[in-house]
Homo-oligomer: A and B are copies of this chain.
Amino acid sequence: MDIIEISKVLSNKTRLKILYWLKSPEDHFPFQHIKGNFEDGVCVQYIGEKSGLSLSTISHYLSIMQRAGLVIQSRFGKYTYYRRNEERIAEYADYLKANL
């Protein structure tokens, strides 16, 4: 469990918001083409639009979030979906509680 890597991810307002939005995508992302449910998460475009930052920035954010283990990426055709990695997120909080 890399506290430094995860803390860096959490040191940014937009990344925290992304994590929050992905808790309940139905409430935060109005519609999505193709896959009607949110099982696999939300695609990069939508997250980008909602964030107000450029897609390249958001793509980069999501990749460091995934490297840190906080989200899970899955690609379907030309779309990339991201969803929370609930296990890891809970694990991190537990780890801090026990070791910080």
Chain A residues within 8 Å of B, Cβ to Cβ: 3-4, 7-8, 10-13, 16, 19, 89-90, 92-94, 96-97, 100
Q: Main SS of the interface on chain A? A: helix
CA distance A40 to B7 in the complex (A): 28
17 examples of A-B residue contacts, CB within 8 angstroms? A3-B10, A4-B11, A4-B12, A4-B16, A7-B7, A7-B8, A7-B10, A8-B11, A89-B100, A92-B96, A92-B100, A93-B93, A93-B97, A93-B100, A94-B97, A96-B96, A97-B97
- On chain B, the residues within 8 Å of A90 by CB distance are 97
- On chain B, the residues within 8 Å of A96 by CB distance are 92-93, 96
CA distance A11 to B64 in the complex (A): 14
Q: Please, which residue of chain B has its CB at the minimum distance from the CB of A10?
A: B7
- On chain B, the residues within 8 Å of A3 by CB distance are 10, 16
